[in-house]
Structure 1
Amino acid sequence: MTNTITSSSHVAVQARDVHGNVHVQYPNPAPPVPRQLPARRLFVDRERITAYLDQAWAVRHGPLWVGVEGPSGIGKTAVAVEWAARHAWPNGCLHADLSRTGPEAVLRGWLHALGHPHLPEDPAQVEALWRTLTADKHLFVLIDNATPEDAAVLFPVGDECAGLATAQAQLWGLVAHGGRCIHMPPLDPQATTALIHGLLDDPPPTPVLETAVATTGGLPLAATLTAAYLAEHTNPRFTPQEEHVTAHVDRLLDALPDTTARAATYLAMHPGHLTNPCTAALLDVVPEEAARVLAALTETGVLQRTEDDRWSVHDQVRPALIQRATTDDRVQGVGRVARYYRLRSAAVEDHLNPWRYRIDNEAAGLARNAQREQGTVWFTTEGEALAWADAELPTLLPVVAMLADLLRPEAWQLADLLGTYFNRRRPLEVSRPLFAASLRAAQELENPAAVGIVHRRLALVAETPEQKLEHAQAALDAYEAAEHRAGIATGHEGLGDAYLDLGDIDRAVWHLRESVRLHGQRGHRRGLFMQLRKLAEGLSAQGTHGQALELVVRAHRTQAGLEVPDRYQMARSASALIEVSLAHAAEEDRVLTVGERSALLMIAQTGVAQMSEDGALHRQAQMHEKVATLTTDPEHERSELHAALALHEQLGHPDASRVRSQLDVLSS
């Protein structure tokens, strides 16, 4: 008998004696409503545009989609943030900058923020899940540096939703998708004066103010920097040569304390959004001092802050900051960016899969030493580790691209260290270009082992079986050139996977046998267990079910006998054991005995419980299906299939349609 009690915090369940297999399921807490927009700033002279948006909102016949064009620094993002703040968005406000990441990574991040941690691998299904989720939401989305095509994918589709996209030009294509487009003009002198007045407690004399206004060119960013300069100088001087934002930045930093001005040049080396821990690492200071620097630079307008406690350097400001840095400071700043992401990524991987084979084995030790020196622990749970990588995903691509351009080894090390994360989340639109940049760096640095690991990563995210085979072969070639024994073993595994996908079972089995042999020679029991299971699956596909069953039983026992079992891999071996057992019985034209069925059913139910505890929803759904296959009770079968269907639908996984069809057959 199975009893399931689902409770909430305001319901108490009391019992004297509880017997049987009782599970208490606690509902997951609702995720916080995302509020990702940059902070509101002093706002002047955009009434015509906000009135236009109000009118468009009032007469819409569906979601409001608008493109806002204008030069950098003109205030496009500010007007979008201001208009959004004047309306209620019960389901949240989302923001992305496409100059730093791709649309698929953005969608995955947004879906995580809205409470969907487990997402399908197929980008088309991620987009479909986004449309499904937003169809009945009241949501605002802001996309900076967008194209019409990207905006059409990322905008929400619900009638109570609005999406605004910004770009310097060429957003008129949104009209073809049912949207609108407006152009942002510069501020007129009166509005610029009002903005500077509003930012200063004591405005300067009129002649000085008029000269200052004339140097801004009507750009709100320049006006903000000018106000900061005026606040620091009682007798300011403006010359025609200082009519650009760069000159304003120079004057502004000259007025700041040397340590703060130098900190600004370090932060400019970071190509994405900054957090307080990242800032502390880049400046080599404690978090409290990092917070002070971030606040000072935000107040002056050098940095922009978002509502989720992240900061970024404005695109117009970054070149001026980097230009001020010495060569040594630039090298040291980039080095600190690289070290921060390398060590944090190593800590993430240590939580997700401490047993995985890596080329960059040194990083895990460095990460542990850094935490001991700081007297802190970066991640205490697997969930925290995943959450950090999810949040940093939009920044990882520009960071790796920068490191690859500079031919730094961290470009390939990050691809290596985050292997398990990328396998779990499958953010293909980020991982493919990220791995490509990593490969370029590994090749330029003439590191064949690194070339092998990155080709292995590319094989796992390949778009076609042919591309997968090409990368898998290149990985094995590189490992053999490096005489890297562990790599050669995993290289044969990759080729076995590729040939299985292509349907060339004989070649697949040969390479998987070779992988088993090499892992056995190395005495790597975890690797051997995984290769035995894969070889068993290949043999079963080949029709050699008896030998496949022997191997998968051995694999399952090997894993169970490890001092610290990997429960996720145990569930995979359990699934393979059940499939091979059923195929072997069918080959012998017999049904499973009561004992065999009972033993397999217990293995499947154990897998369901373990995957539920670990939050591996897709694997949990598959184990529910295995229970349904093995049970002889029709009601139990339907119950397990309904449980599997609910999980597949939660993930947006294509297996949902197959399970739904099975339920339809049972009901007919």
Structure 2
Amino acid sequence: MYKKHETRGSEVERRKTFGSGLRDVRIARGLSLTELAARTHYSRAHLANVEHGRRAATTELAEACDNALEADGELLALIPRPRQSDSQAAVTRPAQLPAAPGRFVGRRTQLSALDAVSEKADRLSIATVHGPPGVGKTTLALYWAHREIDRFPDGQLFADLRGHSGHQSPASPAEILEDFLISLGLTPADVPSTEEKRAALFRTMTHDRRILVVLDNAVSSDQVRPLLPGAAGSTVLVTSRVTLTGLAVRAGAAQLALAPFTSDDSLRLLQEIVGSRVDDEPAAAQAVLDRCGHLPLAVAVAAERIAAHPIRLSELAEDLAEERQRLAALASDEDADVRAVFSWSYRALPTAAARMFRMLGLHPGKEISVPAAAALADIPLDKAAQLLHALATCHLVEEAGRDHFWLHDLLRVYASEQALAVDAAQEIERAQARELSWYLDTAAAAGRALEPFRPPTSDTALPGYAEAFAWCERELASFPAVVGLALRIGRPDLACQLSQALFSYFHLRKPWTIWERTYHLGLEAAAKLGDPCLQADMLTGTGLVALGLGSPESGRDAFRRGLDLLENEGEPTRSAWCHIGIGLAYADMEDVSMAKSALERGMVIHRDQNDQHAESVALVHLADLCRAEKHTEDALRYADRALSLCRSIDDKYGEGLSLYQLGTTYLAAGMLDDALHRLEEALSVQRAAHDDKGQADTLWALARTWIARGNSTMARCRLEEAATIFERRGDPAEAVVRASIANLEEGTTH
């Protein structure tokens, strides 16, 4: 019979040798890991992890291995046993975990992360799960704890630290320690009187014990630190609405951020509760989930409401559609009332942070920058940044990159409710007006930077072209909401001015859907003001969008409406833009005669007004018409004149377009070297100007030029680049370019 020599030393030393002891016995018995796995019914991988110290052995595993290897209790002896504390009290095996969650979906990444943290057998493992209210932190912690309960044979301790509680103040460490010590076998009379002595005794009583401690709803690192056991191989799992940075820095805790569900996991939870009714109304189900913001608590409340009442998913979706009623529709008992859960975090905020949170509820978009928040709250930038970071620490907002933060939809609704309840109507109006003015000033400055040839309309300055473009890109999704807010609060003047200020960026970037939504709101605002010039400006924008979306008739009609409005206004420049728009529409409709007539009329007016930018636009499009008609000399003359004008006023967008026009004209005429030269010039200028659409068009033209020169490798390279940009923009031209790639491959193959 194999006997391992008895080792001396502490229980910690003996437990550390279990893996190597198991390996020694197994090898001595001539068994492979696979054979041992078959005898013990544990997986080969798990046994390998135990042998190498990556996983701690349970008493049950040790007993199974001892029996399988006929080790006569030697392996089982390497597993520590509960023993008397220093006070001679009998240490019991606590089992305090609340019941496991009845339903659990998703979170595979987070579960794996917790597994990785707790696998360190030679140290105390600590993990914190932090995230916004209602995101499912406790559910995740309890699910994982129950799943891994066999790994902690010496017991499980649980405490609600009441960090954000509706009725009670946060629990003191001394209070929790008293409960833990009694659970471990002490009588109340034996519990020391001070927190320090209780913490020291707790560490002593948990020394050499492999236990799990779940600390739910912590408010700070200081609240948690005295509750850490003294046992290597034990795990502490903490949940909190705040980021417990101190615990990470001083105790080495791993931090795990929890976000709302993915769309798939939200749907899975809804299906588990509601059943087949989800399949009967898939669109309504998606609407419900979207309006819950995929927040697990909100999804669960919504699902239980459907399951418990004979209502259709479409009815609930309709109830949730109105933002002001959304939180009321997601009310259940207080523990599962979304509004109540949010309130526990809000009520704990200092006064200044609470006001900032309320102000954020007035912001019309999901994401907000520090300067916009500062304008809303009427405070300095550094103070706004400080308050936003404080709100992010307790997950009432989330960081979305440098100097930007976002609110979950339901939290934004709650913040808005609080603003309406606490702040005077005049203060709310002033806050919204301040933010709108900030957007207008900054958008006007961005337009000036993107088109420096235009006269300045704002005292605000952005550092340069790249910074202006980056600001517009970051704020792009908010533009329709901001213009809509101006309209809602009775400031149609601001709605029109902001739409006008964004024209330079929209024309450069061509985000068709957002441009269309913004300008339709601007048109509504201009109509409220009864201003024909502003209406014409908005119609010019909507007309260009219609052309971009492939509806030339709609575009022509918009330009004509604008022209009619301007008939008696004495606005030659605005009228000339309408004529150019009509010309572009007719060009898309392949009516060359009408297109040329309208473009020439617009060009003459702009020339008379000495508007070099506008004249260059007309010239470029006249060149395009001439090229299509194979009037090469006229096309080159128009494009050269446009290029000269654009360079004289530093119009980078126009310069790229003029060079593109020259290149495609040379290509059509078979002058391939000149075509390559001009198109490469165009591409360089367009990249510097961030002209996505222009780059894609130029790359496509370069590909056609390389095909004409017989270089399929270069052609394919340019086609792939063009297709990538068109795909990113959602441009239907992608399909044509992909077809060109397929044709090129077919031709190359043969």
TM over 0.5: yes
- 1:367 is matched with which residue: 460, 471, 475? 460
In structure 2, the CA distance between the partners of 1:627 and 1:496, relative to structure 1 (3 Å rule), is same
Distance 2:512 2:338 in 1: 37
* Equivalent position amino acid for 1:570 in 2: E
Q: Which residue of 1 aligns with 2:601?
A: 514
Distance 1:662 1:214 in 2: 62
Q: Is 1:603 the equivalent of 2:678? A: yes
Q: Is 1:527 the equivalent of 2:601? A: no
Q: Which residue of 1 aligns with 2:426?
A: 328
* Equivalent position amino acid for 1:604 in 2: L
In structure 2, the CA distance between the partners of 1:426 and 1:622, relative to structure 1 (3 Å rule), is closer
Question: Cα RMSD (Å) of the superposition?
Answer: 4.6
- 2:376 is matched with which residue: 262, 282, 298? 282
SS at match of 1:328: helix
Q: For the Cα contact (< 8 Å) 2:359–2:415, is it kept in 1?
A: no
Bigger Rg, which one:
2
Distance 2:511 2:453 in 1: 23
Q: For the Cα contact (< 8 Å) 1:641–1:659, is it kept in 2?
A: no
Q: Which residue of 2 aligns with 1:419?
A: 503
Q: Which residue of 2 aligns with 1:191?
A: none
Q: Is 1:547 the equivalent of 2:634? A: yes
Deviation per CA, 1:528-580: give whole Å up to 9, x if none.
122111112224445655533432333334434x153x344233223323434
SS at match of 1:315: helix
Q: Is 1:575 the equivalent of 2:657? A: no
**How many residues of Structure 1 are paired with residues of Structure 2 in the alignment?**
465
In structure 2, the CA distance between the partners of 1:458 and 1:294, relative to structure 1 (3 Å rule), is same
Q: For the Cα contact (< 8 Å) 2:483–2:498, is it kept in 1?
A: yes
Deviation per CA, 1:128-147: give whole Å up to 9, x if none.
xxxxxxxxxxxx99689xxx
Q: Which residue of 1 aligns with 2:397?
A: 304
Q: For the Cα contact (< 8 Å) 1:50–1:79, is it kept in 2?
A: no
Distance 1:417 1:81 in 2: 48
Q: Which residue of 2 aligns with 1:51?
A: 104
Q: Is 1:452 the equivalent of 2:555? A: no
Distance 1:320 1:176 in 2: 34
- The TM-score normalised by the length of structure 2 is 0.53
1:454 to partner: Cα distance = 1.1
Q: Which residue of 2 aligns with 1:65?
A: none
SS at match of 1:316: helix
- 1:271 is matched with which residue: 364, 379, 397? 364
Deviation per CA, 1:642-668: give whole Å up to 9, x if none.
231121232223342253124543554
* Equivalent position amino acid for 1:457 in 2: G
SS at match of 1:51: coil
Q: Is 1:388 the equivalent of 2:483? A: no
Q: For the Cα contact (< 8 Å) 1:142–1:165, is it kept in 2?
A: no
SS at match of 2:368: coil
Equivalent residue runs for 1:64-463 within 5 Å = 78-79=135-136, 172=278, 176=282, 184-185=300-301, 216=334, 218-226=336-344, 229=347, 257=351, 263-272=356-365, 273-295=367-389, 303-306=396-399, 308=401, 309-312=404-407, 313-355=411-453, 363=457, 365-368=458-461, 378-382=462-466, 384-408=467-491, 409-462=493-546, 463=549
Worse overlay, 76-85 or 651-660: 76-85
Distance 2:270 2:477 in 1: 18
* Equivalent position amino acid for 2:679 in 1: A
1:443 to partner: Cα distance = 0.9
In structure 2, the CA distance between the partners of 1:628 and 1:316, relative to structure 1 (3 Å rule), is closer
1:325 to partner: Cα distance = 2.5
* Equivalent position amino acid for 2:634 in 1: Q
Q: Is 1:665 the equivalent of 2:747? A: yes
Distance 2:698 2:642 in 1: 18
In structure 2, the CA distance between the partners of 1:284 and 1:607, relative to structure 1 (3 Å rule), is same
1:511 to partner: Cα distance = 0.8
SS at match of 1:367: coil
1:286 to partner: Cα distance = 1.9
Where relative contact order (Cα < 8 A, 6+ residues apart) is larger, the structure is 1
Q: For the Cα contact (< 8 Å) 1:407–1:445, is it kept in 2?
A: no
Q: Which residue of 2 aligns with 1:477?
A: 564
1:163 to partner: Cα distance = 7.9
- 1:501 is matched with which residue: 588, 591, 594? 588
1:495 to partner: Cα distance = 0.8
Distance 1:619 1:503 in 2: 21
Q: For the Cα contact (< 8 Å) 1:187–1:219, is it kept in 2?
A: no
SS at match of 2:448: helix
Unaligned runs of 5+ in 1: 1-43, 59-74, 88-139, 145-150, 156-160, 189-212, 232-251, 369-377, 586-591
In structure 2, the CA distance between the partners of 1:441 and 1:80, relative to structure 1 (3 Å rule), is farther
SS at match of 1:314: helix
* Equivalent position amino acid for 2:371 in 1: P
Distance 2:531 2:607 in 1: 26
Deviation per CA, 1:598-656: give whole Å up to 9, x if none.
44443233334444555545544544554555569956x32431231121232223342
- 1:644 is matched with which residue: 707, 714, 718? 718
1:456 to partner: Cα distance = 1.2
* Equivalent position amino acid for 1:219 in 2: D
Q: For the Cα contact (< 8 Å) 2:599–2:618, is it kept in 1?
A: yes
Distance 2:700 2:747 in 1: 15
Unaligned runs of 5+ in 2: 1-96, 112-131, 145-257, 290-295, 305-330, 728-733
Q: Percent identity?
A: 19
SS at match of 1:271: coil
* Equivalent position amino acid for 2:585 in 1: A
In structure 2, the CA distance between the partners of 1:465 and 1:330, relative to structure 1 (3 Å rule), is same
Q: Which residue of 2 aligns with 1:126?
A: none
In structure 2, the CA distance between the partners of 1:165 and 1:452, relative to structure 1 (3 Å rule), is farther
Distance 1:332 1:574 in 2: 48
Distance 1:603 1:581 in 2: 9
- 1:654 is matched with which residue: 722, 735, 738? 735
Deviation per CA, 1:64-96: give whole Å up to 9, x if none.
xxxxxxxxxxx9961399869999xxxxxxxxx
Q: For the Cα contact (< 8 Å) 1:556–1:573, is it kept in 2?
A: yes
Worse overlay, 262-271 or 489-498: 262-271
1:413 to partner: Cα distance = 1.9
Q: Which residue of 2 aligns with 1:19?
A: none
SS at match of 1:274: strand
* Equivalent position amino acid for 2:521 in 1: A
In structure 2, the CA distance between the partners of 1:533 and 1:184, relative to structure 1 (3 Å rule), is same
Q: For the Cα contact (< 8 Å) 1:348–1:389, is it kept in 2?
A: yes
Deviation per CA, 1:179-234: give whole Å up to 9, x if none.
9989514999xxxxxxxxxxxxxxxxxxxxxxxx99946425414524765x6xxx
